[in-house]
Amino acid sequence: MTPFGKKQKIELLPGYPKEETFRERLRRAWTDYPHRSEVRLTALAALVGILSGLGAVTFTYFLEFLWDSFYSDPRSGWRKISIFLIVPPIGGFIVGNMTEKLAREARGHGVPEVMESLTLHGGRMRLRVSLVKSIASGITIGTGGSAGREGPFAQIGAGIGSAIGQLLNLNDEEMRLLTTCGLSSGIAATFNAPLGGALFGFEIMLGVLEPIAIIPIILSSVIATGVMSHFFGVNPMFDLPVFKFTQPSQLILFFLLGVIGGILASGWVKGFYFIEGLFDRLEIPMEFKPAIGGLGISLIAIAGAPEVMGTSFDTMEDIVEKRLSLLVLGGLLLAKALGTASTIGSGGSGGVFSPSLFLGGAMGAMFGIFMKNIGWIPSSDVGMFALVGMGTVFGGAAKAPITTSVILFEMTGEYSLLPLLLAANIISYTITMLILEEGDIYTLKLHKRGVRIKRGHLVDVLNEIIVKEHMATPVETLPASMPIEKAVEIFMEKKHTGYPIVNKEGELVGMVTLWDIHNIFHDPSINPKTVTLGDVFLSEVVTALPDETMNQALEKMFKYKVGRLPVVTLKNPKKPIGIITRKNIIRAHELALLNREKWAKVIQDRHVPKKHRKTKN
């Protein structure tokens, strides 16, 4: 203002910078800020946590509505049996039609599909998948199917994170991070375990503790847990008694429990995919398979084990609180395994985390009761063994001992149990690593499709292809007593370029190739009619084992400068059971890559709108 009260306009000289407004200064500060990308991702992770938590709340209300509609009223007699017999198959039929027509990725337990999306398509998923998954899982579990709610929670959250990333056109790295944030927040909301949910994303999905991902994933998990707690309270998932570990001498029993848990986890994974394979081979329309799975759970309930229907959270509390006998626990363990495999393996929708906890809890309680009966532990400690047993089965089945230990610790809040959980889960993990070399309960589903994943990353296919899968059988051999002239005739007739040489007992004594025959046949000092293969080509033979990888076989070929390897067993290292050549390895590699590309194309067609898909001119 001038002394006369009138605002005076100041003319700036040419080239003199104009005065910035506050909005312009703020925009320039943000543009020049070196960590704006990290801040943006953290803010988006918070948004993902909020929406994932709200999605989990909505799903929970939907699930409770369906369950209360069918099973809340106490019924008895034929009316109860008719409900058990009718409702689960109808629910399965609805789910089968829904997933077949709207989103096939919504079948099963959800996490493998998120892994597939992260690995093959940079975390891009269709939002429709999350919507269909939530409805299909709600119907599956709400009508009595045996499954966990963590699978749908995880896929709902992952779908939300992916949708936000696609809306903002983020790059692949940022997309993968937001999708993982959504999945972790879903797991966290399920078990009221924010740290466990975050570790789930690191240990199972990403496979590595990436510094840029730590804050966003933890933040989204904490926020989703807070949203869930706002609606359902901050109480732990289970209302468990307080357990305190006070006898270090019992540690050896928890090591033994880990061994048994690892064996059970391995059997559970193999059994689950065996039953899923039976449904896959069933030659009926896909829409009807979940109905058959629903009928399976109906028969289990009618046979006397309705406790395995749904999420079975109440029954898990009974297990830990020592309310069930040894015989009942054994029956429920078998019924839950069959019911879950029937529900999810048939194409129903739901998670395998909670059922795995159920199996582990039943096993741990049985172990604790046995130890109590022989006088090794007091009765009050049985529930502690049940709780630790929960972790051993999922920790082994998913090969995620740290995540499982932390989740169970957060569910109980008892710090003294954490060393026991870690010890037993790591032992279980070690056992399953020895038995389940090919994968875990999540990645095995992808391995069946030709998508080889280890902790969130595609692996070299030659390290995943086993020699016995592509070796040539039966083995054509030449006897050591055969004259070279006769061998030439066989080479010309069969068109092979090499043969193992065997003695009278059929044992390996050498190798001969077409190049070797060519050199010997033109040697004037050798009479091909009288000189035999055994006279010239006896030598130590480089061999391969049937369970070795193609990469190992290829390394032997390069090291010893050979083009083929007879395949033998450790039991009989001189008896060839097959032969592997460079041509076999190249063909196996091509087939694996083609299979991987096929599934990558499937994912692209699922996730990318038609108008954006690449087409050939």
Domain 467-589 grouped into CATH 3.10.580.10: yes
Q: Which residues contact 506 (CB under 8 A, 6 or more apart)?
A: 477, 575
Q: Which one of 339-353, 409-423, 583-597 scores highest in mean pLDDT?
A: 339-353
Q: pLDDT category, 505, cuts 50, 70, 90?
A: confident
d(CA 379, CA 210): 44
User: CATH fold of 32-232, please?
Assistant: Clc chloride channel (1.10.3080)
Token pair listed for 490? 């066989």
What are the residues facing 351 on neighbouring strands? 148
d(CA 398, CA 269): 9
Q: Which one of 206-220, 244-258, 316-330, 431-445 scores highest in mean pLDDT?
A: 316-330
d(CA 70, CA 86): 11
Of the candidates 324, 19, 37, 345, the one whose C-alpha atom is nearest the C-alpha of residue 174 is 37
Condensed to tens digits (0 to 9), the pLDDT of residues 472-485 reads: 888 888 888 888 88
Query: Does residue 166 surpass a pLDDT of 90?
Result: no
Query: Does residue 180 surpass a pLDDT of 80?
Result: yes
Query: Does residue 24 surpass a pLDDT of 70?
Result: no
Query: Does residue 329 surpass a pLDDT of 90?
Result: yes
State the average pLDDT for the chain.
81
Of the candidates 119, 182, 188, 138, the one whose C-alpha atom is nearest the C-alpha of residue 450 is 119
Q: pLDDT category, 464, cuts 50, 70, 90?
A: low
Q: Of all residues in the chain, what percent carry a pLDDT higher than 90?
A: 25
* Residue 595 confidence (pLDDT): 60
Condensed to tens digits (0 to 9), the pLDDT of residues 264-305 reads: 999 999 999 999 889 988 888 888 999 999 999 999 999 888
- Tell me if 261 sits within 8 A of 401, measured CB to CB: no
Q: pLDDT category, 615, cuts 50, 70, 90?
A: very low
* Residue 555 confidence (pLDDT): 81
Q: pLDDT category, 538, cuts 50, 70, 90?
A: confident
The separation between the first and the last C-alpha atoms of the chain, rounded to the nearest angstrom, is 69
Q: pLDDT category, 244, cuts 50, 70, 90?
A: low
* Residue 612 confidence (pLDDT): 39
Condensed to tens digits (0 to 9), the pLDDT of residues 379-392 reads: 878 888 999 999 99
Query: Does residue 193 surpass a pLDDT of 60?
Result: yes
Q: Of all residues in the chain, what percent carry a pLDDT higher than 70?
A: 82
Superfamily of domain 248-461: Clc chloride channel (1.10.3080.10)
Query: What average pLDDT score do residues 526-538 get?
Result: 77
Condensed to tens digits (0 to 9), the pLDDT of residues 107-141 reads: 877 777 787 777 767 777 877 877 888 899 999 99
Q: What is the pTM of this model?
A: 0.72
Query: What average pLDDT score do residues 498-518 get?
Result: 83
Q: Which residues contact 19 (CB under 8 A, 6 or more apart)?
A: none
* Residue 43 CB neighbours (<10 A): 12
Could you state, in order of their start, the residue ranges of all structural domains in the chain? 32-232, 248-461, 467-589
More confident residue, 238 or 490: 490
Query: Does residue 570 surpass a pLDDT of 50?
Result: yes
Q: Which one of 268-282, 454-468, 512-526 scores highest in mean pLDDT?
A: 268-282
Query: What average pLDDT score do residues 347-351 get?
Result: 88
Q: What are the DSSP E strand ranges found in 405-544? A: 453-454, 457-458, 478-479, 498-502, 508-513
d(CA 552, CA 26): 58
Same fold across 32-232 and 248-461: yes
500: left (phi over 0), alpha (psi -120 to 50) or beta: beta
